[in-house]
Amino acid sequence: MNWKHKHLLDIESLTAAEITTVHDTARAFRAVGDRAIKKVPALRGKTVINLFVEPSTRTRISFELAAQRLTADVINFSAEASSLKKGETLKDTARNLEALNADIIIIRHSATGAPHFLSRFLNSSVINAGDGAHEHPTQALLDTFTIRERKGRIAGLNVTILGDILYSRVARSNIWALLKLGAHVTLCGPPTLVPKVFEQMGCRVVYDVNAAIEGADIINLLRIQHERQRKAMFPSLGEYASLFGLNRQRLARAKPDVLIMHPGPINRGVEIDSDVADCSRSVILEQVTNGLAVRMAVLFLVNGGKGPQEVGV
């Protein structure tokens, strides 16, 4: 299936075949990271701009390194001390960046739909690096890529997503990707953070953590964002940990070859116990490595690449 999109805005509008094309392309690029010279000339002379209106060191660095390994030129534009602070509209900021002959603009923004908005008037390719509580498509692509590389398939697997679903763009993108690829998705967390409405998407919603973990092939933990979480959503971090934190005892209910995933940064002792985070079933750091490969793939594809057959590394 040849890729044919100019932008990567969300998972919702992708087909299963397109997601698979990203995975296959990422596999080709992952090999680059293991080589002595970790570079390919695929995007030589192209300009990539990281437009991070909402700060994120982790995702920004992953995209920056991905662009560097494709030999692109990268510029980091952060909202602080920028023209956005002087009252410039996002549209004007984006059009100014495009006027610098930007080939690809990667945007993270606190407003849902910001990347879609840009894509309607820019000639540059737009990549969504997280928009509000809406979507974070490269995270879902790297999560499903990690599952596929480890399990050989996604269809038919039991995937449990545990934590703050309501405010999580990671959860939303993962749900879309997993359902399109044929997984059974179970959501679990405090009722305030996991509304029943997610059943309409095709997920199972469960409030008993033991039931949620029972028979799971994959447990994907979401970060409890205690630094910005509305306090009213659950009583305390300690209570969250005791009711929903993943520990050895709860993990025993999952399948023996379960994979434990987390988009990071992890809160040890809150959503995950330290010995679980560091155990052999944890693929959390593998997700980071795969994230780089997936972002190389996405940059390559939106820039006109068709698929893995063109990587030629």
- Give the nearest distance from C-beta 180 to its own copies in angstroms: 27
Q: Of these, 156, 182, 235, 265, which contacts its own copies (CB under 8 A)?
A: 265
Residue from 20, 59, 138, 146 carrying the catalytic annotation: 59
Q: Does 288 bind its own copies (CB under 8 A)?
A: yes
Q: Does 264 bind its own copies (CB under 8 A)?
A: yes
Is 268 part of the annotated catalytic residue set? no
Compose the 86-105 pattern: x for residues touching its own copies by CB under 8 A, - for all others.
xxxx--xx-xx-xxxx----
Strands (E) located in 231-296: 259-261
Q: Of these, 120, 200, 227, 256, which contacts its own copies (CB under 8 A)?
A: 227
Sign of CA dihedral 219, 209, 157, 180: negative
Is 116 part of the annotated catalytic residue set? no
Residue length of the chain: 313
Is 59 part of the annotated catalytic residue set? yes
Q: CA–CA distance from 126 to each of 28, 87, 97, 254 (Å)?
A: 23, 22, 12, 39
The b-or-e profile of 168-187 (16+ CB within 10 A means b, else e) is bbbbbbbbbbbbbbebbbbb
Q: CA–CA distance from 36 to each of 39, 73, 289 (Å)?
A: 9, 21, 16
How far apart, in whole angstroms, are the C-alpha atoms of residue 251 and residue 281?
A: 10
Specify the 3-state DSSP secondary structure of 76.
strand
Is 58 part of the annotated catalytic residue set? yes
How far apart, in whole angstroms, are the C-alpha atoms of residue 297 and residue 67?
A: 10
Q: Does 310 bind its own copies (CB under 8 A)?
A: no
Residue from 60, 134, 136, 148 carrying the catalytic annotation: 136
- Give the nearest distance from C-beta 125 to its own copies in angstroms: 14
* CB atoms inside a 10 Å sphere around CB 42: 22
Q: Of these, 12, 16, 75, 179, which contacts its own copies (CB under 8 A)?
A: 75
Q: Does 268 bind its own copies (CB under 8 A)?
A: yes
Q: Which two tokens stand for residue 82?
A: 């920028």
Q: Which two tokens stand for residue 286?
A: 């593998």
Q: Does 312 bind its own copies (CB under 8 A)?
A: no
- Binding residues for its own copies, per CB under 8 A? 33-39, 44-47, 55, 57-58, 61-62, 64-65, 68-69, 73, 75, 77-78, 81-83, 86-89, 92-93, 95-96, 98-101, 226-227, 264-268, 285-286, 288-289, 292
- Catalytic residues, by residue number, are 58-59, 86, 108, 136
